[in-house]
Amino acid sequence: MTEKQLRDLMGGMTLEEKVGQLVQCGAGQFIQNSMEITGPEGEMLPAEELNRVMGSVLTFEDASQAKALQDKHLAADRNKIPLLLMLDVIHGLRTTYPIPLAMGCSFDDDLMTECADMARRESAACGVHVTFNPMVDTARDPRWGRILETNSEEPLVNARMGAALVRATQGNDLSDPENVACCVKHFAGYGAPEAGRDYNTVDMSERQLRETYLPAYKACLDAGARLIMPSFNALNGIPSVANKWLMNRVLRDEWGFRGVVISDFNAVGELVAHGMAENLKEAARLAMEAGCDIDMMQNAYYLHLKDLIAEGAVSEEMLDAAVLRVLRLKNELGLFENPYHGADEEKEKAVYLCPAHREIARRAAEESAVLLKNEGILPLSRTLKKIALIGPFARERHLVGFWSRPGAWKDAVTIPEGIGAILPDCELVMEDGCGAEIGDADGSGIERAVAAAREAEAVILALGEPEGDSGEGRSRAELTLPGLQTELARRVIAANPRTAVVLFNGRPLVLTELEKVAPAILEMWYPGTEAGSACARLLFGLANPCGKLSAGMPRSVGQCPLPYNRMNTGRPKPGPDGVPVPFSSCYLDMGNLPLYSFGHGLSYTTFEYEDLKLSGDTMQAGGSLQAVVTVKNTGEKAGKEVVQLYMRDPVASVVRPVQQLIDYRKISLAPGETAQVAFTVTEAQLRFWNFDCECVSEPGMFELSTGYADHLKLTRSFRLI
């Protein structure tokens, strides 16, 4: 349709029909549906009444349901305006790749593109028009369960990976039935709740918000994302869905966003619980005034917008602007010509879990895994005849993580299946040892596990968090391994020191006690469909670990939040970490630094950084210079290395971070091979938000370093003039 045709269509709609375009309902209200939802549904209105006018639905199962929903609606809607069908596709649809936090550990934008492209094909075939992805909430507190949904604690990683996902998902033409529109979430600062407790308030300066939390959302919108979702939380006292400064001034006016704003699940209604609105009617007014176009699941708009317009509390022009944004999105998706878009039952069968998609998922799981520690245990020999596979995750199939489709775990490869494919003749003795649930104190299986460990040539100890312990609403006050897993590890490793620990979890854990006894620790996160295959290939050397931590792992929950790019203080602690110094910024009982820092990750080979050169010792405003580092594979295996470039601004008008990642590059080197990795450093990368909330750079000395957080090396300086 042309713009004029869209406006003519809207001009012929009744007030009720226009309001209906801003209403999103759950598919289960209109068709039998078994999928989970993540919040309380709004007031249930007659399904047939809503079906005539509603603009979108979420949470359906497959192409058949997508078509049935569209057919039922179009038969009832006199204007024949197609539905928008939306779904959370966070890390794959049927073929799941690793959780976003794990994908961040790959530091590989191209790999993210491959995974998103795979998810796009499966989603389009399912009938999805809009995916609620990417989630780019910068998160620095692992107590928050939704840290698994973000790529990193570092805004740069979130921005680059989020933008890559948007481009791969939406393609160049949204009307192409194989492309899907992206909804960026959760705007803004949702990843910084007080005490790491989900949905909790966020209170921070505008400068911190702009410096750390807004850049990734902006990068995704610049990449073309068509929708954005306000966050549940109150930001500086105002819930985001009603925050006029955030939604109107920053999003619409400063950034020029012209797409669709959709509330999170029931967020408009929750303005009442926040104490921001006296009732649902007032909540609807506040959300509309803040520019929220679609009310997800609450029906606040449907129940009250007509009255608010009749009373003059909301203008019909404001309503029309929101409706037109929704109609434009439907038009851009080509729904008026093809309301089914890409929904195709036969294509579903062809692409779901196909070999090509499984290969991508396996490779992503391998490159997202982080080798935290290795005292010569890994890789295990493929000549072993008897291995003990111990731990509550030894036989577990629930390894795909939160926000995967119901039943997706059934398609996941287990560790025994992965090992069996590589070592079909090896005897695998399996014992759970203990449970992994919080508060589980049943250690009756530990003795059997210890006995199995003693009799084996090597032990694989599979530990972690149950799938349901990380994700939305899954905040934790303690971050150690749940249950008796640490005790199991002590006993098993004492019985057989040739033990490799493999971790499955959705957040950085406190591994201080485990690190003391475990000779090797491989962090797999929730790896997705090909979990067991990737795990086995890594353990036995068919794949070489190359992941780097996208969020540091604390020594204690008492350190949290613990950002790597922290600010210095007027009394920084001198001397070795962990040694308390009176009247300095330190703990009496522990070091300041994490157990494993941001950017840490080992390999089965070794890399040496031989030189760092700058193309000049000065940079002009608006200019750039080249930083070139020489990297050599000094080991005996081919491997991949993430070359990280950090910047420090020692003197500025506001306190600056002690270290800040400004670029990264992943390279692959054969044994003995050397490569020069060149980075272009621009004046824009030196900018920061000053006290007056102006994005500026200031003349002075700057330092560039390689290495990883808290372990920088090869530092060179230049002056911005």
Q: Which domains does the chain have, with CATH numbers?
A: 22-347 (3.20.20.300), 370-546 (3.40.50.1700), 607-720 (2.60.40.10)
Q: For residue range 525-549, what is the model confidence (pLDDT) as tens digits?
A: 999 999 999 999 999 999 999 999 9
Would residue 264 show up in a list of annotated catalytic residues for this protein?
yes
Residue 38 binned pLDDT confidence (cut-offs 50, 70, 90): low
Q: For residue range 365-407, what is the model confidence (pLDDT) as tens digits?
A: 999 999 999 999 999 999 999 999 999 999 999 999 999 988 9
Q: For residue range 232-278, what is the model confidence (pLDDT) as tens digits?
A: 999 999 999 999 999 999 999 999 999 999 999 999 999 999 999 99
Q: Which residues of 523-562 are buried (b: 16+ CB within 10 A; e: fewer)?
A: bbbbbbbbbbbbbbbbbbbebbbbbbbbbbbbbbbebbbb
The arithmetic mean of pLDDT across residues 444-458, rounded, is 98
The predicted pLDDT at position 29 comes to 84
Residue 5 binned pLDDT confidence (cut-offs 50, 70, 90): very high
Say if CB 356 and CB 529 are below 8 A apart.
no
Relative to beta strand 23-26, strand 56-58 is parallel
DSSP, residue by residue, 281-337: HHHHHHHHHTT--BEESS-HHHHHHHHHHHTTSS-HHHHHHHHHHHHHHHHHTTTTT
Question: 461 is written with which tokens?
Answer: 């100890």
Count Cβ atoms below 10 Å from residue 589 Cβ, excluding itself. Answer: 9
Of the candidates 246, 345, 244, the residue with the CA atom closest to the CA atom of residue 287: 244
Q: For residue range 328-372, what is the model confidence (pLDDT) as tens digits?
A: 999 999 999 999 999 999 999 999 999 999 999 999 999 999 999
Residue 34 binned pLDDT confidence (cut-offs 50, 70, 90): very low
Catalytic annotation, pick one of 108, 264, 293, 663: 264
Give the whole-angstrom CA distance, residue 272 versus residue 349: 45
Count Cβ atoms below 10 Å from residue 78 Cβ, excluding itself. Answer: 11
Helix intervals (H) in 443-503: 446-455, 485-495
The arithmetic mean of pLDDT across residues 601-629, rounded, is 97
Q: Is the pLDDT of residue 574 over 50?
A: yes
Global pTM reads 0.97
Look-up: residue for tokens 């036969």? 346
Residue 597 in 3-state DSSP? coil
Say if CB 88 and CB 131 are below 8 A apart.
yes
